[in-house]
Amino acid sequence: MRIITLFSRSEACPGTGTFPRALVLALAIALTGASGLRAAEDAAAQKLLAEARAKEMHAQELRTAAATTLQKAADDQIEAGVEEREARILAARALKLLGADAKKQRAFNLRNEARKLLLDAHGKVIEGRNAEQRAAQLTHDADELRKTAAQLKDQPTIASTLENEAKAQATQAQSDEQIANQDKAAAQVLEERGKAAWMEAEKLDPETQRQLAPISPKPPVAAPRQVK
């Protein structure tokens, strides 16, 4: 080391004592300690980056799987619509053959209305549940981002980015919470209307209604996921 070399030479000068040797030793210890600390910090940083990469890769895998599931769900919904259309056509043809009177025709319309109302109600139930879960996670995300930003005051640009993201997450969480409440309320109203229409159709044409499929039950609602 250059510093050690210079001070070693100074020891040969007349009038010097043991002070330069002690100073050289202290500097060497300090530099060695700083180097070791830097190496430890670098190793810790590399570990954090590796963990970040692993989580980013896992997130990509989850989003890819979710995209596949969403497309399959959309296809299933479309196929269900096709089956419902065919069912209406078959029922209508049967009523024509039976010479349906005004009551039976009215019951046919009410059954169709009831199924559509309940379909919308069940969709709102799922949408409300999902919006509620998003709101809970976004609220937690905002808290975590704020905590991290507070620990990075020596990195103001990064801290500011995290704080802005936290604000955006909190705002979206409030919006999703409102959507969840609206969807839940709408689902209840639609379900009540659907059941009322179904009951009225049954009164008008109980014989035909017994031969058709009952109204669909509420869809299974997944348990709330734990925020993390």
Rounded to 5 degrees, what angle do the CA atoms 64, 69, 75 make?
130
Q: Whole-angstrom Cα distance, residue 195 to residue 122? A: 13
pLDDT of residue 57: 97
Q: Both ends of the chain: CA-CA distance in Å? A: 50
Task: Match 């989850």 to its residue by tokens.
Answer: 62
Calculate the alpha carbon distances from 88 to 100, 194, 197, 204 in Å: 15, 17, 16, 18
d(CA 122, CA 218): 6
The tens digit of pLDDT for each residue in 63-72 reads 999 999 999 9
- Beta carbons of 142 and 166 less than 8 angstroms apart: yes
Q: Give burial (CB, 10 Å; 0-12/13-18/19+) of 112.
A: middle
pLDDT, residue 39, reads 81
HSE of 192 in the Cβ direction (CA atoms, 13 Å)?
Answer: 6
Residues 6+ apart with CB under 8 A from 33: none
E strands, 13-95, in order: none
E strands, 9-71, in order: none
Tokens at residue 119, please? 């379909």
Residues in the chain predicted with pLDDT less than 50, given as ranges, are 1-16
**Tokens describing residue 51:** 């963990």
**Predicted local distance difference test score (pLDDT) of residue 28:** 63
How far apart (Å, rounded) are the C-alpha atoms in residues 137 and 169? 9
Would you state the structure tokens that stand for residue 147, as one six-digit string?
């905590």
Query: Does the model's pTM come out above 0.85?
Result: no
Residue 26 carries which side chain, given as an amino acid letter?
A
The predicted-structure confidence for 91-104, as pLDDT tens digits, reads as follows 999 999 999 999 99
User: So what's the pLDDT on residue 13?
Assistant: 47
